[in-house]
Amino acid sequence: MIEGPNRTNRTFAGLRSKNVRGKQLVRVIVTVVVTLALLALSKYEFHADLRLDQIVFVALGWVLAVVIHRSQAEAVAQAPLVRSQELLQQSQKMEALGLLAGGVAHDFNNLLAVITGYSDLLLESLASSEPDHRKVEQIRQAANSAASLTRQLLMFSRQQVVQPVILDINQTVGNIEKMLRRLIKENIEFTVVLDRYLDRVRADPGQIEQIILNLVVNARDAMPNGGKLRIQTTNAHLEKDSPQAGAGGPRGRFILLEVTDTGTGMDQQTQARIFEPFFTTKAVGKGTGLGLATVYGIVKQSNGHIEVQSTLGHGSSFKIYLPATEQTEADHESRNNGAETAFSGETVLVVEDAKPLRGLICEALSASGCTVLSARDGREASQIVNERKGVIDLLLTDVIMPGISGPALAKQVRSLRPQTKILYMSGYSGEFLPDMLTPGVSFIQKPFTLADLARKIRKMLADKPKETLASAAAFSQQTAVARKAASGT
């Protein structure tokens, strides 16, 4: 427990309180003196027959009035500070809960990756007509449901790594529709209207799910006595002078995600502040004031635009505009995702401290044609990298491990083998990975399917032959120079 800063804070607080008490005492003395002087002057000028006890009574009355006034003024002045302290305590509680949720999700994701992985291997070995095929499918579906719950925990803790992909918003809404129906009350009529010709967007699926979840929960809380809630998607084109674009706003092709309710609505003053962090109209303990602030941040991060329309007593409508992706880009990514995932002897070093998951990954990659090296932690992996003479095409490493972390190990490997690609895997990441923006570095979220893992590795190693040829040419050139220098010619 750290005592130094707390003791210092208490000392300064005591000095401040003594200073305040000293100033109050001076004010009281000055008030008494001035009052007595005025009463004495009145007696002298107007020959008023004032007894000493009357003078003292009047003076005490003035003192009491001044003290009460000062106390009320200080209480009003300290109210914002008290509110700020309450908000700080609330945010600290939310941070602690978020860390707990993130840790639980991390452990669950390791287990789920093993369950889903071996389920996939079993499904591949079983014919669809066999009785056990359906049983394994049920196991796989249960694991998918559990993975969805862990994603919600990661959304709450805000510990997901942002991974923008070409995304179908309709599919995202469909994936969480069942969960949303469990969240809302039975007296709320919930409808979903999806545009079958909706364009694609480039966004992080987890963040889009978080936007929808936050808006639906907000709408539910605005309808305590029931009402109607609707989620709708459609294509939109914002022109230069359209009211949605506004002054300096976005223009072009967008997809529109709209969440509408018939709840209590908001007045203009509330609408002006709803995206402020910690601002909430809910009762104490019922809301953090971070939901809409998070939505606003995600939309802006995705180069989008959010619009609010609300009337007090007549409900609210949140319209989110996200830039539509060019069809050629969507087609290109679709072709890449459908590419062949077979390998031809590429060497992959797998570093994972969870033994069951490490065994599953090594088995799957070996069956796919990879040469697999495995290590249970960063120290063992570092030893393999130092002792191995052959090439290591890719390092597949967990982010959080005992001893040497994934990023620290990757830094060591890249310093010795600059051509080695780095693929991080984790159930969550509480902090930004510093080399995520470096070419040849990528990330895959647990729990992943074996097909997704193979596809990710194949995509990263797609340009390996070019690099191998370049490295070989450079090596040959260096050898020729060395031989020429040795011969003295």
Residue 43 — pLDDT band, cuts 50, 70, 90?
Answer: low
CATH number of the structural domain spanning residue 188: 3.30.565.10
- Indicate if 271 and 298 belong to the same structural domain: yes
Tens digit of each residue's pLDDT (9 = 90 or more) over 317-366:
999 999 998 765 555 555 555 445 567 889 999 999 989 999 999 999 99
CATH number of the structural domain spanning residue 393: 3.40.50.2300
Ranking 190-194, 248-252, 379-383, 453-457 by mean pLDDT, the lowest is 248-252
- Indicate if 229 and 345 belong to the same structural domain: no
Mean pLDDT of 64-69: 67
Mean pLDDT of 74-102: 65
What one-character DSSP code corresponds to residue 13?
Answer: H
**Across all residues in the chain, what is the average pLDDT?**
75
Residues linked to residue 316 through DSSP beta bridges, in sequence order: 261, 310
- Indicate if 166 and 289 belong to the same structural domain: yes
Tokens 């287990």 belong to which residue? 111
Encode 70-85: b = buried (16+ Cβ within 10 Å), e = exposed: eeeeeeeeeeeeeeee
- Indicate if 344 and 326 belong to the same structural domain: no
Mean pLDDT of 294-314: 85
How many distinct helices (H) and strands (E) make up the chain?
A: 13, 12
- Indicate if 301 and 166 belong to the same structural domain: yes
pLDDT of 301 > 80? The answer is no
Going from the C-alpha of 285 to that of each of 148, 223, 453, the distances in angstroms are: 26, 18, 42
pLDDT of 137 > 90? The answer is no
Residue 143 domain-assigned? no
* Residues contacting residue 199 through CB under 8 Å, at least 6 positions apart: 235, 253, 255, 324, 325
Residue 123 domain-assigned? no
Q: Can you give the pLDDT at residue 16?
A: 44
Ranking 391-395, 431-435, 441-445 by mean pLDDT, the lowest is 431-435
Chosen domain end from 282, 300, 330: 330
Residue 151 domain-assigned? no
- Indicate if 273 and 383 belong to the same structural domain: no
Q: Can you give the pLDDT at residue 92?
A: 65
pLDDT of 466 > 50? The answer is no
Residue 302 — pLDDT band, cuts 50, 70, 90?
Answer: confident
Mean pLDDT of 7-24: 47
Mean pLDDT of 106-111: 77
Six token digits for residue 401: 């491990």
Ranking 9-13, 126-130, 309-313, 418-422 by mean pLDDT, the lowest is 9-13
What one-character DSSP code corresponds to residue 377?
Answer: S
Q: Can you give the pLDDT at residue 69?
A: 65
Q: Can you give the pLDDT at residue 113?
A: 85
Range of the structural domain that residue 460 is part of: 339-470
Q: Can you give the pLDDT at residue 42?
A: 58
Domain count, the chain: 3
- Indicate if 378 and 458 belong to the same structural domain: yes
pLDDT of 71 > 70? The answer is no
pLDDT of 311 > 60? The answer is yes
